[in-house]
Amino acid sequence: MQICRSKQAIRDCVGQWRHQGRPVALVATMGALHEGHLQLLTRARAWLDERGGGHIVTSIFVNPTQFDQAADLIHYPRDEANDLRLLDQAGCDAAFLPTVDEIYRPGAQSVVEVTGLSKMLIGRLRPGHFRGMTTIVTKLFNIVGPDVAAFGEKDYQQLTIVRQMVADLDMPVEILGVPTVREADGLAMSSRNRRLTPEDRKAATVLNRALDRGQEMVEQGCGLTALRGELRRILQSEPRATIGSIDIRDAQNLSRITRIDRSIVMLLAVRFGDVLLIDQRTACP
């Protein structure tokens, strides 16, 4: 696996592959890698193999512009040596690990924002977060020039926003959504899980229990109010959980719904101690 720390180095590396006429996949991460990230690589590899093979670039960059809380940025877990070992084992072809100065030149004034989708849901709780995310994803697309990029469905709003951005701005990259990977007890894998106390780690399984029940109810044809009430009841049954938000939206475009007559997504944000966890599930009546 090649390790590139500058834009020029990754461009040179990808340029050589392009010369061989092979497609390139990008997996964008902020490091602290776990099985959920490795699934993104597996999905990207399958896409490449269906086209006769190609190369995967994984970026590791803790992007300061998408953190609305300084403390969150400082506490974000970093473990470069372990990340590189996992990527190498997973068959990644190049890791791109730029510094903040390499990515953001002084005096930069341009941002990329998906104006509607970025302001709702998590965007309301974390102003500027999605603008930072779409700006860095655009920069990574411009630096690496991938044919395809894989994003986790766990960050459902992020995935929806990236799809919208790519369509709106005619970006020549295919976006793959990859299903959430869960621990054996159902907790969605996340770098944030490392910050949970053992008690909160156990309590956090309530998210998956609520979503399982919600999915069952939707499939049985329940109404919106009943679904919201049941999700709230299950989450409240866990004393260590503080509900941040429970949202039930159109799965396609995250618009509000008044009845469950199409594919919906249940989006949960729940705090355990000072750690905010999110989880989601789509379901069809």
Q: Residue 263 annotated as binding?
A: no
Between residues 31 and 214, which has the closer beta carbon with respect to ligand PAF?
A: 31
Residues whose CB falls within 8 Å of the CB of residue 270, separated by 6 or more in sequence, listed in order? 204, 206, 207, 235, 241, 242, 243, 244, 276, 277, 278, 279
Q: Is 165 in the site for ligand PAF (CB under 6 A)?
A: no
> Any idea how long the chain is?
285
Six-digit token string for 159: 């995935």
Choosing from 19, 37, 55, 129, the catalytic residue is 37
Output the CA angle 151-15-162, nearest 5 degrees: 20
* One of 25, 26, 30, 150 touching ligand PAF (CB under 6 A): 30
Q: Is 149 in the site for ligand PAF (CB under 6 A)?
A: no
DSSP, residue by residue, 229-264: HHHHHHHHTSTTEEEEEEEEEETTT--B-SS--S-E
Q: Is 56 in the site for ligand PAF (CB under 6 A)?
A: no
Q: Is 269 in the site for ligand PAF (CB under 6 A)?
A: no
Q: Is 188 in the site for ligand PAF (CB under 6 A)?
A: no
Q: Residue 266 annotated as binding?
A: no
In whole angstroms, what is the distance from residue 63 CA to residue 67 CA? 8
Q: Is 28 in the site for ligand PAF (CB under 6 A)?
A: yes
Minimum separation from the CB atom of position 133 to ligand PAF (A) = 5
Q: Is 178 in the site for ligand PAF (CB under 6 A)?
A: no
* One of 121, 136, 196, 248 touching ligand PAF (CB under 6 A): 136
DSSP, residue by residue, 163-186: HHHHHHTT-S-EEEEEPPPB-TTS
In whole angstroms, what is the distance from residue 18 CA to residue 173 CA? 15
Between residues 36 and 214, which has the closer beta carbon with respect to ligand PAF?
A: 36
Q: Is 208 in the site for ligand PAF (CB under 6 A)?
A: no
Q: Residue 119 annotated as binding?
A: no
Question: Please, are residues 162 and 137 in contact by the beta-carbon 8 Å criterion?
Answer: yes
User: Measured in whole angstroms, how far is the alpha carbon of residue 35 from the centre of its chain?
Assistant: 13
Question: Please, are residues 66 and 136 in contact by the beta-carbon 8 Å criterion?
Answer: yes
Six-digit token string for 19: 């010369």
**Helix, strand or coil, per DSSP, at residue 267:** strand
Question: Please, are residues 129 and 155 in contact by the beta-carbon 8 Å criterion?
Answer: no
* One of 24, 57, 133, 178 touching ligand PAF (CB under 6 A): 133
Between residues 66 and 164, which has the closer beta carbon with respect to ligand PAF?
A: 66
Minimum separation from the CB atom of position 210 to ligand PAF (A) = 23
Stretch that binds ligand PAF, among 90-98, 132-140, 174-182, 259-267 (CB under 6 A): 132-140
Catalytic site includes residue 37: yes
Stretch that binds ligand PAF, among 27-35, 38-46, 79-87, 164-172 (CB under 6 A): 27-35
Between residues 166 and 203, which has the closer beta carbon with respect to ligand PAF?
A: 166
Q: Is 63 in the site for ligand PAF (CB under 6 A)?
A: yes
DSSP, residue by residue, 125-155: HSTTHHHHHHHHHHHHHHHH--SEEEEETTS
Q: Residue 36 annotated as binding?
A: yes
Annotated catalytic sites, by residue?
Answer: 37
Annotated binding site: 30-37, 66, 152-155, 158, 181, 189-192
Q: Which residues bind ligand PAF (CB under 6 A)?
A: 28-30, 63, 66, 133, 136-137, 155, 158
